[in-house]
């Protein structure tokens, strides 16, 4: 009988810990961003601030990679700086304007273009934007490869 109680107790603790971890990752750390009316895009002639509408965004203090945004550009950027190796990251299920799987497929097929939004938004992190011909724009933060490879004994 004591083994059953201990087993049930362990299962209950594991279930509560799992549910807590899911809640923290899915909801707790994210905050909705206030509506923005511009986004910055790096162009060949320098940064350009472009007007947007229908902005939705999320961010978190717990990681520099948790920023995501969806919007519609009201004017396309002129000669934006391309971003090689763009890899959209996933989002919480409730932030449904951002579909990283579709973005990845569209970037690979050429249906969307990845451009540099802002270099070094945080150390070793760039803001990347995926821009569609119809003006839709999706943004995320991504680690960059600008830091040289380091050894263990730095």
Query: What residue segments make up the domains of the chain, in order of their start?
Result: 1-31, 33-143
Spatial contact of 114 and 82, defined as CB atoms under 8 Å apart: yes
Predicted confidence (pLDDT) per residue in 38-62, tens digit: 999 999 888 999 999 999 988 887 7
Predicted confidence (pLDDT) per residue in 12-35, tens digit: 888 887 777 777 666 666 778 888
Residue 82 is given by DSSP the state B
Determine the Cα–Cα distance for residues 4 and 29; give it in Å rounded to an integer: 36
Write down the residue that tokens 């083994």 correspond to: 3
**pLDDT for the residue 25:** 66
Determine the Cα–Cα distance for residues 111 and 21; give it in Å rounded to an integer: 36
**pLDDT for the residue 106:** 93
Strand ranges in the chain using DSSP code E only, listed in sequence order: 31-32, 38-43, 46-59, 68-73, 113-122, 125-131, 136-143
């Amino acid at each position: 009988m004591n083994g059953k109680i201990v087993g049930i107790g362990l299962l209950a603790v594991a279930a509560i810990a799992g549910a807590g971890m899911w809640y923290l990752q899915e909801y707790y750390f994210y905050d909705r961003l206030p509506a923005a009316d511009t986004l910055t895009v790096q162009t060949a002639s320098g940064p350009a601030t472009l007007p947007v509408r229908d902005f939705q965004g999320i961010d978190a203090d717990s990681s520099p990679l948790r920023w995501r945004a969806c919007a519609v550009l009201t004017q396309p950027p002129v000669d934006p700086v391309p971003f090689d190796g763009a890899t959209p990251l996933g989002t919480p299920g409730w932030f449904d304007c951002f579909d990283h799987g579709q973005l990845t497929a569209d970037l690979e097929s050429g249906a969307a273009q990845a451009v540099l939004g802002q270099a070094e938004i945080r150390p070793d992190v760039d803001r990347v934007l995926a821009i569609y011909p119809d003006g839709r724009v999706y943004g995320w933060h991504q680690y960059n490869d600008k830091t040289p490879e380091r050894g263990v004994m730095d």
